[in-house]
Amino acid sequence: MTSRLLMPVRSRGTAPAGVPEPAADPTPGSTRATAILDHGHPLVAALAARAARGGRTDRDRLRAAHRLIVAGVRPVYSVEDRRRASRTLRLGRGSCSQRMAVLEAVARSLGIPTRVRGLLVDGSFWYPRFPRLRPFVPAEVLLAWPEFRLDGGWVPIAGLFDHAGPSREGGFANTGAETLFEAVARTGVDWDAPAACDGTSGACDLSAHLRTDLGRFTSRDELFGRYGQTLCRPARTLAEPVLGRWSAGAA
C-alpha cells in the first residue's frame, strides 16, 4: 500500500476535474524566464554558453546540455520540485525533476521554446528505490515531463536522443544509480505505448505506470501552481534534509 497522508489534498484522486484532453491541447510553450526556469541567472547562462558550443543544431546543443548536467549535478531524491534551476546548479545535486528543469532553463536561454506534460505516475513505480520505505511512498507522483520545440514540432526529452534498436543494457528499471534523467540518453522512455515495459525493445514503455495524463502546460511553474507538488509542505520540510542529500542508488 502506498501513502496518501503525505500528499497535498488538492492532488488526491486519479482523475482531477477539468483535465484537458492531451490530443487537443494547443499549449504553445515559451522561452521566457520563470521562477523555476531562471535562465537569466549567471550559472544557467554559463551552462547555456557551454552547451551552445556542443553542436550546430538545437538538438545537438540540448544533448550537450544534458551531458553537462549529468556530469555536473549529482542525482539525489530531493522533493522540492519548485526549486530554481540556478540553485540546483549551485548545490551541484538535484532530483530528476530538478535536473530536467535545468535542461529546460538552458533550452529557453538558447531560444528554444519548452513546455511540460503533467503526468501522475503510480507510486509503486518507485518501490525498487525504496524497498524498506514502501508505506511512505506517495500513492502517485506528479511528474513534469519536458517537451522542446524543434524543427516545427514538439519533442519530449527522450526524443532528443536516437534509439535505433534495443539497448544492450535493457530498458529503464528505476533502480540503482541510473535515474530517468540519465536513462533517456541510453534507452527510449515512452508513457503512451500500450504494453508494460519489459526492457526488450528500443523504446522502454512505462505506460502501465501512468495513472493520469494532466495535459500540457506552458511551464512547470504553471503545472505545480495548479496541482501542487507530490508531497505536502510539512512532508517536504521533514524529508528534504535527508532525501535532498541521498544519492540515487545509495543503500
Model confidence pLDDT, tens digit, residues 194-246: 544 444 444 578 888 999 999 999 999 999 999 999 998 998 999 899 999 88
pLDDT at position 132 is 84
First-last CA distance in the chain = 22
Angle (deg, nearest 10), helices 96-109 and 58-72:
140
- For residue 103, what pLDDT band results from cuts at 50, 70 and 90? very high
Least confident of 32-36, 59-63, 202-206: 202-206
Sign of the torsion angle spanned by Cα atoms 5, 6, 8, 12: negative
**2 or 51: whose pLDDT is higher?**
51
- Decide if pLDDT at 163 tops 90: no
Share of the chain above pLDDT 70, in %: 82
pLDDT at position 174 is 86
Quote the DSSP letter at residue 53.
T
Range of 14-18, 140-144, 176-180, 202-206 with top mean pLDDT: 140-144
pLDDT at position 10 is 47
Tally of CA atoms within 13 A in the half-sphere of 195 that contains its CB = 6
Is the separation of the CB atoms in 143 and 150 below 8 Å? no
- Decide if pLDDT at 13 tops 80: no
- As a whole number of angstroms, the distance between CA 33 and CA 39 comes to 6
Q: Which residue has the cell 522502454?
A: 204
pLDDT digits (tens, 9 = 90+) for 109-158: 999 999 999 999 999 999 988 888 888 889 999 999 999 999 999 999 99
What structural domains does the chain harbor?
29-232 (3.10.620)
